[in-house]
Structure 1
Amino acid sequence: MKRVIVFLAVMFMTLSYGQEIKQVPQISVSGEGKVKVIPDQATVSVSIETKGNVAKEVKKENDEKTEAVLKLIKKMNLAPADYRTQRVSLNPQYDYEKKKTLYNATQTIEITVRDLNKYDELMEGLVSQGVNRIDNVVFQSSKMAQYESDARKLAMKEAKHKAEDYVSVLGQKVGKAMTISDNTQSYTPEPVYARFKTMTAMESDSAPRETLAVGEITIIANVSVNFILE
């Protein structure tokens, strides 16, 4: 009998506690923070592609062009950490019309340009040294972590301001936050797929040219917050 009484008492306390939790007045709101930034650097992915009939010769020619490209990069005083070989390949390709096997050698190099004033000079130099494919250009900011933090703070401020707007007509106040959910999607810079002129066309333009319109990148943070109402 005593066990039954104790069991019922525990159940009653548990139910009462659960009811008390549910009765805590709350408000759930979301907030968004946006920070617009002018990029100050770019990541460029370029490829040296060579085709031919003999695998050994194709690879040798591709290696020579790659060496010339790397010498140019070093000559422009880019830090060693700012460029790396991303991919190397040598593939046979069978030509069904000519009924013979051709070979395609490719080396892809990723370069970080921390001074956008060097962009045009670098691109023209790369093409002159053997780069025949510019895969993409991604504009970024060197202070991304700081701007992401700023966006998160703005999102929290908007969430609190929104909660205060809702409860202001009720004579209540926004209390402590019970839960905070970060709904921010990972920031991925959008690549700019580049097209470039032949060197003959480039050399015919003697005047300096501006070929970039970097614009702005927008960093967005999203949060959901549950506030206690007082």
Structure 2
Amino acid sequence: MKKIMKKLFFIATFAFLAIGLVPAQTKTEASVDVTGRAKVKVVPDRAEIEITINENDLKGKYSLNEWETKLAIALKSAGVDAKKQLSLYRQYLATAKRKNIKQYKTFKLEVYTAEEAQNVMDALVENEISGGRLTKVWLADRKAVSDSLKVEAIKSAKHDASVLAEAIGQSIGSAIQINFYPSSPAVTYRNVMLKSVRNEAMAVTADEAIPELPQINFDEIEIEENVSVKFILNPEKQ
């Protein structure tokens, strides 16, 4: 009797384990995956001008201090707030161990419009400073524009999902997954230099026309945001 009971116990245990090993059939929820994108072109409202003053310029005509004075005059005439917009980037100065060197300083100037950038460039040339160049432009409040585009992109995705669902007599429910694909920073690098133009202007005679300086303009920057969204598909309409 004990042997029979023991045998029945093993059979019951095996049957229970076997049932547990059978993969559970999960109900797959009907869904629709869509992508949404939105983009806009904007005019940059920030630019960086790199300015270098060097004792080597004009065959050592001015000392570094004199060049700094000329730079201050140029920026003031261009209407620039040097304390707020100008910063020292790098410098190479004489020391006790290196006295006989040509010193230089490089500054970075932040401007807000193409017109201001043009005024600065013109003022630099007028003050014999040839080491100026426009290095990059960008949008200061890019995040606000980006956030607005994200909203547009997800609304576009929802609209497309609704259209697809209605085409088969269904409707969409809640979003169950959202993926966002960050866009690259909206910065455009430029390299508008003054030196060659200034040298041409200095080389002409009194009877010749001075070449026009290059006019500065900020090209539009395109910002784009992309999302993908998965919506639940509600049952077919009756």
TM-score w.r.t. length of structure 2: 0.68
1:183 to partner: Cα distance: 0.7
Q: Would you say 1:188 and 2:186 are equivalent positions? A: yes
Aligned counterpart, 1:154: 152
Aligned counterpart, 1:215: 219
* Count of matched residue pairs: 208
| From 111, 114, 117, the counterpart of 2:115 | 117
The Cα offsets for residues 202-223 of structure 1, whole Å up to 9 and x where unpaired, read as: 89879x9881232321111111
Cα 1:174–1:70 shift into 2, 3 Å: farther
Tell me the secondary structure at the aligned position of residue 224 of structure 2.
strand
Q: Distance in 2 between matches of 1:155 and 1:148?
A: 10
Q: Contact 1:128 / 1:199 at 8 angstroms: preserved in 2?
A: no
Q: Distance in 1 between matches of 2:192 and 2:200?
A: 18
Aligned counterpart, 1:99: none
Q: Contact 2:134 / 2:193 at 8 angstroms: preserved in 1?
A: no
Structure 2 spans left out of the alignment, 5+ residues: 1-8, 95-99
Richer in strand (by share): 1
Cα 1:227–1:90 shift into 2, 3 Å: farther
Tell me the secondary structure at the aligned position of residue 24 of structure 1.
coil
The one-letter amino acid paired with 2:51 is V
Q: Distance in 2 between matches of 1:198 and 1:42?
A: 22
Cα 1:220–1:24 shift into 2, 3 Å: same
1:227 to partner: Cα distance: 1.7
1:153 to partner: Cα distance: 1.5
Q: Contact 1:85 / 1:109 at 8 angstroms: preserved in 2?
A: yes
Aligned counterpart, 2:198: 198
Aligned counterpart, 2:4: none
Cα 1:177–1:49 shift into 2, 3 Å: farther
Q: Distance in 1 between matches of 2:74 and 2:188?
A: 27
Moved over 6 A (4+): 202-206
Cα 1:12–1:122 shift into 2, 3 Å: same
Aligned counterpart, 1:82: 85
1:43 to partner: Cα distance: 2.2
Q: Distance in 1 between matches of 2:109 and 2:172?
A: 49
1:103 to partner: Cα distance: 5.2
Q: Contact 2:75 / 2:82 at 8 angstroms: preserved in 1?
A: no
Q: Contact 1:127 / 1:199 at 8 angstroms: preserved in 2?
A: no
Q: Distance in 1 between matches of 2:46 and 2:19?
A: 64
Q: Would you say 1:69 and 2:103 are equivalent positions? A: no
Q: Distance in 2 between matches of 1:8 and 1:24?
A: 29
The Cα offsets for residues 117-138 of structure 1, whole Å up to 9 and x where unpaired, read as: 3222211212344543334342
Cα 1:209–1:86 shift into 2, 3 Å: closer
Larger radius of gyration: 2
Tell me the secondary structure at the aligned position of residue 179 of structure 2.
strand
The one-letter amino acid paired with 1:225 is V
Q: Contact 1:49 / 1:132 at 8 angstroms: preserved in 2?
A: no
The Cα offsets for residues 123-177 of structure 1, whole Å up to 9 and x where unpaired, read as: 1212344543334342333442321122111211222222223322211212221
Structure 1 spans left out of the alignment, 5+ residues: 53-57, 92-101
Aligned counterpart, 1:141: 139
The Cα offsets for residues 71-102 of structure 1, whole Å up to 9 and x where unpaired, read as: 533552426332211222469xxxxxxxxxx9
Q: Would you say 1:19 and 2:26 are equivalent positions? A: yes
What is the aligned-residue identity percentage? 23
Deviates more, 1:126-135 or 1:164-173: 126-135
TM-score w.r.t. length of structure 1: 0.70
Q: Contact 1:180 / 1:225 at 8 angstroms: preserved in 2?
A: yes
The one-letter amino acid paired with 2:175 is A
